Amino acid sequence: MSDPFQRLLELESLCVERAAALPAIDTDIHEWVGVGFNLGDTEYVSKMGEVVEILDLPQYTKVPGVKSWVIGIANVRGSLLPLMDLKGFIDPRVLVNRKQCRVLVVRHKGTETGLVVDGVTGLKHFSLDEQTSELPKVDAEVKPFIKNAFQREEQLWPVFSLYELVDDERFLHASL
C-alpha cells in the first residue's frame, strides 16, 4: 500500500493531465440574468444579484402603527424579516390575494427585506444585445425604479431595481 499523501499527488497530477483535454470556459459571456416576477398583469425582471432568496409567504406577525403595505415581520430561520407588499406600496388601493404570493428577499446595505409579489416566473436570461433604452408604459409610481428594459420579440421586460426601491425615502418611512 502506498503512502496516502503520494496517492493524492498522483490523483492531482492525473486530474491536471485530463483537464487539459476539456473545453475551456468562455469567461467573456454577454448575458444578463435576472429574476422574473409579476405584479398584477405586468411582468418585471430584477438583476439576479439583487435577490438573495425566493420564499413562499411565511407566517408573520402584524406590526402596529405602520403603513398598509407593511405586511408584518416573519421569523425566517431565526432571523427577523420585514415583509412589504410591493404592489400595495405602488398602489395602496390594491388588495392582494396573499395565498399565491411569493417573497423576494433583498439584502442591501446590511439589511434584509422581504418583498411580496404576485408571482415569480423564474430566471430570465437576456443577451446584452436585447437591452433597450425604450421603456414600456408603467405606472408613475413604478417609473423611478425602472432604468432600462430588455426586448425579446414583441415583449418588453422592464428591469425593476430592487436596490433603488429599498433606498427610496417613501419606502424607508413605513411608519404612520
pLDDT tier for residue 26 given thresholds of 50, 70 and 90? low
> Can you read off the three cell numbers belonging to residue 135?
421603456
Residue 6 has what pLDDT?
85
Segments making up each domain of the chain, as ranges: 31-172
Distance CA 166, CA 9 (A): 51
Residue 25 has what pLDDT?
56
Tell me the per-residue pLDDT of 86-102, one tens digit each, with 9 for 90 and over. Answer: 998 988 776 666 677 99
Mean pLDDT of 145-162: 91
Segment (H or E) for 127:
strand 119-127
For domain 31-172, give the CATH number: 2.40.50.180
Note the pTM of the prediction, 2 decimals: 0.79
Q: DSSP string spanning 68-114? A: TTEEEEEEETTEEEEEEEHHHHH-TT----GGG-EEEEEEETTEEEE
Tell me the per-residue pLDDT of 107-141, one tens digit each, with 9 for 90 and over. Answer: 999 899 999 999 999 999 999 989 988 887 888 88
Residue 176 has what pLDDT?
75
Tell me the per-residue pLDDT of 37-89, one tens digit each, with 9 for 90 and over. Answer: 998 888 999 999 999 999 999 999 999 999 999 999 999 999 999 999 999 89
**Average pLDDT value over all residues in the chain:** 87
Residue 91 has what pLDDT?
81
> Can you read off the three cell numbers belonging to residue 88?
400595495
Quickly tell me which residue has 427610496 as its cell.
Answer: 168
11 compared with 161, residue with greater pLDDT: 161
144 compared with 14, residue with greater pLDDT: 144
Residue 24 has what pLDDT?
60
pLDDT tier for residue 154 given thresholds of 50, 70 and 90? confident
